[in-house]
Amino acid sequence: KAGVTQTPRYLIKTRGQQVTLSCSPISGHRSVSWYQQTPGQGLQFLFEYFSETQRNKGNFPGRFSGRQFSNSRSEMNVSTLELGDSALYLCASSLGLAGVGSGANVLTFGAGSRLTVL
Amino acid sequence: DQQVKQNSPSLSVQEGRISILNCDYTNSMFDYFLWYKKYPAEGPTFLISISSIKDKNEDGRFTVFLNKSAKHLSLHIVPSQPGDSAVYFCAAAINSGGSNYKLTFGKGTLLTVNP
């Protein structure tokens, strides 16, 4: 079955602009989590959505927002872009709420959207 | 405040030898620990996990050891293969309600296995 699909794969924006990233989870998966990966900070949790509701949130400013649609697809938006927002944004899906162990609730990641802010 | 630390940015080993990747954590409330592997241009993939009530979990060539008193875990790969060359992320999970867990990742260790 198809994996987690993220679009666009690469994009370049300038400071002050806003950006929207899209994530299509594995068919049947209802939870979508977003992470930011930078060389200096590693993988940092942004938020998790399940059944169109935000269930968990990381320590990012309000410029970072997300939403989930009824078909479980998710989007994240970053407004008023800053140079420090340049990163790889990873989306991960799981059958139920993000879990642990080796079952279907373990996160399956997409390849990411690489954002460069100039 | 970094709760999950991978102090070695990189590690190089010979094919056939053991690879040991280390991870330290500060929060004693973590319930589970996981390892993910990431190849370039791909997302991280789940490798192995361990509950905080255990001290060892094994899956084929991969074994994770947990030392709760030292707040330290390690991933052993034996024998190492060139295809194991990737970035390895350690993650710690805390229960945020029901069966939902919130993961905190380390910065990753780049493993290079030389033929």
Judged by a CB distance cut-off of 8 A, whether residue A112 touches chain B is yes
Q: Are B91 and B104 in contact (CB under 8 A)?
A: yes
Question: Nearest CA to CA, how far is A101 from chain B (Å)?
Answer: 6
B3: tokens are 């709760």
In the numeric block, the tokens 């078909």 are attached to A71
Which of B6, B103, B105 has the CB atom closest to A98's CB atom?
Answer: B103
pLDDT digits (tens, 9 = 90+) for B22-72: 999 999 999 899 999 999 889 999 999 999 999 999 999 999 999 999 999
Q: Is B16 helix (H, G, I), strand (E, B) or coil?
A: coil
For residue A56, the one-letter residue type is N
Q: What is the identity of the amino acid at A42?
A: G
pLDDT digit string (tens) for A44-72? 999 999 999 998 899 999 999 999 999 99
Q: Which of A107, A108, A113, A114 to mutate to test the interface with B (most CBs of B within 10 A)?
A: A107
Q: Dig out the tokens for A86 from the structure.
A: 């340049």
Interface contact A42-B43, CB threshold 8 A: no
CA dist., res. A38 & res. A40, Å (int): 5
Most B CBs within 10 Å: which of A9, A26, A38, A43, as the mutation test of the B interface? Answer: A43
Of A56, A92, A97, the CB nearest to B99: A97
| Contact flag B99-A99 (C-beta cutoff 8 Å) | yes
Strand extents, DSSP E, chain B: 4-5, 10-14, 19-25, 32-38, 45-51, 56-59, 62-67, 72-77, 86-97, 100-105, 109-114
Are B35 and B49 in contact by the 8 Å Cβ rule? The answer is yes
Digit-coded pLDDT (tens) for B77-93: 999 999 999 999 999 98
Calculate how close chain A gets to B88, using CA atoms only, in Å: 11
